[in-house]
Structure 1
Amino acid sequence: MTLVLAMLLDALLGEPRWLWSRFAHPAVLMGQLIGWCDARFNTGEHKKRSGLLTIVALCAAAIILGWAIESMPGSLLDVIVIAILLAQRSLVEHVQAVADALRLSLGDARRSVAMIVGRDTKDMDAPGVARSAIESAAENLSDGVIAPIFWFAITGLPGLLAYKITNTADSMIGYRTPKHEDFGWAAAKLDDLLNLIPARLTALMIWAVTSRPDPRAILREAPLHRSPNAGWPEAAMAHGLDIALSGPRSYDGVLQAYPFVNAEGERTLGPDDVERTVQTLWRTWALALALAFMGALAVWLS
């Protein structure tokens, strides 16, 4: 029941500004630790080995911390920690903010979507802004909600913390750049491995709460994505809402000619489509909550 209570707490409170303006969020602390490791160990001729040892040490520390928290009497602290590490409410608020901004002006929408995507936004048109927000919603639903739930359900708080430190490391150093291609290699590979099942589970859940499109289309297009995992929730969202996602986009001023996912779907996207995505996020969360409750009930009855 700990997971159920944590999911409800996250959905109710999200990330209250009054709290995190006074204290450092755990994700910020993780980021600072990873940044220190990057500055300290990303040097010399053996960067790949250094990166491997770094992610192993970070995961070991996260697992030990998880065990320590779980060993404390009572479960209230567990509930609070899990709720902090979930991102359902904050994800919904960020995506909804893009829909709201699109109804005000394109400039507002570009600034809003820039907070949740890594691509260039200054020349985006309105459909491009909406498409970017929807893609980010699908990917972050997997990374920030379903994957943490999955790893807590399977391995408890130690596994959840190990997943979060790995996912944070991947977002910071897991890029194929001259600086991080070797040092961040292990973090990126481990993150791919840890998201292998959750990404496909997220796709299945999106499929279940939308129009339940032909699953063969999702199975066909998801593996074509540049990421081994992000393509699954994205393809499920595209087909579930009958919209076209992905497609050409610009990174650091360089246009990348990525193909569309569900190319026959609607391409002229707007705030209504973003809000349909928000509804899908809540429906998928509700399905996850129901599954968590049934799992807790089964354990209690046994």
Structure 2
Amino acid sequence: MVSRRYDHLMRRNRSEAVGLVVGAAADAAVGDPQRYHPVAGFGTAVSRVERLTYTDSRPVGAAFAVGWIGAAATAGALARRAGWLGTAAATFTALGGTSLCTVGEQIADALDAGDIEEARRLVSGLVGRDPNLLDESGICRAAVESIAENTSDAAVAPLFWGAVAGAPGLLGYRAANTLDAMIGYRSERYLRFGWAAARIDDGANLVPARLTALIAAVVSGRPGDAWRAVRRDAAKHPSPNAGVVEAAFAGALGIELGGRTIYAHGTEERPTLGDGHAPTAADLRAAVVLSRRVQAAAAALAVGGRWWMG
């Protein structure tokens, strides 16, 4: 009996390792679909239910977040029954690193062509800042910071949770991160209702963010500079996770990030991260290259980890 269960777990975990490979390869090849993306559908459903159930309350917000994350993890458990194909679909759904890098390159192209309005339009899809207030340096800084943070959120973290828990981990994490992006703000509306979503996302990213920083330090070829920036500057950032990866990217790229940041909900004075000049379009391209290297290394580690669990 024990032997049969062990064999079943071994086959399932190795099947999920194959699914991680296929899903990551599919994301690298085609990126996010422009229409009918499952995450977009999830977000639409969340918005509709929020309008019906919103209450300015932490307990209600916590129940809202836990319910949606649980539903997504259950969908992952059902996908796992389809074998490696189900895990591949969950992996492709959860990953967003390729599209992130594509937008980064498009912003750099627009800036090199002198089309700052197009660059503003593109960067508005990555950050919550008012793009009309950003000059070329501000656009580059916003894009590099987003690429750094989302290399963790949209690539390393889903792969990490896929390695730990398979398809339920992949979709459960993606739900938590999407909820944080939708309601995890310190605005008047979401300060209490979105509190649990923000805290769950922080917890889910504690290990992946530091793994992202470690991988970035190694693959950049400048581990000393990256870790110096992390040790000195990361704790100054208001986010326990974004500061780690942004500092690592700043150190690895030899640039300075942070500073005055204007959001829809107000202005924040962010600490500076790293040493060097303000990011340029060339630095944005370098951030894209670094992100792709980190994503490839994380995929290899996740697949190897899930296979080893088998």
**In structure 1, distance between residues paired with 2:306 and 2:63:** 36
Q: 1:190 maps to what in 2? A: 200
Q: Among the aligned pairs, what percent are the same residue?
A: 38
For normalisation by structure 2, the TM-score amounts to: 0.88
**In structure 2, distance between residues paired with 1:126 and 1:270:** 8
Q: 1:76 maps to what in 2? A: 85
**In structure 2, distance between residues paired with 1:115 and 1:254:** 18
Q: 2:178 maps to what in 1? A: 168
Deviation at 1:85, TM superposition (A): 1.7
Q: Structure 1, unaligned stretches of length 5 or more?
A: none
**In structure 1, distance between residues paired with 2:133 and 2:182:** 25
Q: 2:276 aligns with which of 265, 270, 288?
A: 265
Matched-pair contact (CA < 8 Å) for 2:163–2:306: no
SS at match of 1:249: strand
**Does the C-alpha gap of structure 1 residues 297 and 258 become closer, same or farther in structure 2, counting only changes over 3 Å?**
closer
**In structure 1, distance between residues paired with 2:127 and 2:262:** 11
Deviations 1:145-169 (A, max 9, x none): 0000000100111122111111111
SS at match of 2:223: coil
SS at match of 1:182: helix
Q: 2:53 aligns with which of 41, 45, 50?
A: 41
- Bigger proportion of residues as helix: 2
Q: 1:28 maps to what in 2? A: 40
Could you say what the CA RMSD is over the residues aligned between the two structures, in angstroms? 1.8
**In structure 2, distance between residues paired with 1:186 and 1:296:** 29
Pair 1:95-2:104 in alignment: yes
Deviation at 1:198, TM superposition (A): 0.6
* Number of residue pairs aligned between Structure 1 and Structure 2: 290
Matched-pair contact (CA < 8 Å) for 2:228–2:251: no
Q: 1:232 maps to what in 2? A: 244
**In structure 2, distance between residues paired with 1:147 and 1:7:** 13
Q: Structure 2, unaligned stretches of length 5 or more?
A: 1-17
Report the more deviating stretch, 253-262 or 138-147.
253-262
Deviation at 1:223, TM superposition (A): 1.2
One-letter amino acid of the structure 2 residue matched with residue 187 of structure 1: A
Pair 1:5-2:22 in alignment: yes
Alignment of structure 1 residues 1-302 onto 2, 5 Å: 1-17=18-34, 20=35, 24-43=36-55, 47-72=57-82, 74-104=83-113, 105-210=115-220, 211-214=222-225, 215-252=227-264, 255-262=267-274, 264-267=275-278, 269-295=279-305, 298=308
**Does the C-alpha gap of structure 1 residues 67 and 165 become closer, same or farther in structure 2, counting only changes over 3 Å?**
same
For normalisation by structure 1, the TM-score amounts to: 0.90
SS at match of 1:260: coil
